[in-house]
Every structure is written in structure tokens, then in C-alpha cells.
Amino acid sequence: MLERKCIGCGKIKNRDELIKITRDHKANTLVVNGNSKVFGRSAYLCYNKSCIDSAFKKNRLQKTLKTPIPEELKGKLINEL
């Protein structure tokens, strides 16, 4: 079992229970829940609004992925719930 840490709440969970956001290395784009073939820097979030809000409020997502995060990504993530 592969476990990852949510950047919103800090809890360690199974990778399948988290939203994966990856900055694609080649295209320099953000991929949400991409397959494991996408190579790049990744961040993980729980499937709840409070973790998503926390990650955006404290710029944790931007710091982890080392790239500017568009505000519309927050809406896209909340819609995934």
C-alpha cells in the first residue's frame, strides 16, 4: 500500500483515497487525478472541502508544486467532490 500525506490536513492516507494534483514536467501544466504515467511534482488532497480550502488559503499547493496555481483549479477540485 502506498501512502501519501494530504497537504490540507496533514493526515497520511492510502494514495487511492486522495486527489492527486501533478505539475506535468514536459508541458508544465496541472493534471488532476492523472494516471501514474504523468511525470512531475505531485501534491495530494483529501476528498473534502476543508482540505481544499486550507491548501489554497495557505498557498500550500503553490509551494508544494513550485508553480503558480490558477484560482479556477479550486472550483474544479470542489466539483470533483
Query: Does the pLDDT of residue 49 top 90, yes or no?
Result: yes
Band of residue 68 on the pLDDT scale cut at 50, 70, 90:
very high
- Tell me what pLDDT residue 50 has: 95
pLDDT at 26 over 90: no
Rounded mean pLDDT, 34-45: 85
Question: So where are the chain's domains?
Answer: 3-80
Name the pLDDT band for 1 (thresholds 50, 70, 90).
confident
Q: What is the pTM of this model?
A: 0.89
- What is the CATH superfamily name and number for domain 3-80? YlxR-like (3.30.1230.10)
Alpha-carbon distance of 62 to 56, in angstroms, equals: 8
The tally of CA atoms less than 13 A away on the side-chain side of residue 55 is 31
Residues linked to residue 31 through DSSP beta bridges, in sequence order: 22
Collect all residues with Cβ–Cβ distance below 8 Å to 48 and sequence separation of at least 6.
81
- Collapsing DSSP to helix, strand or coil, 39 comes out as coil
Q: Which long-range contacts (CB under 8 A, 24 or more apart) does 22-26 make?
A: 23/65, 23/66, 23/67
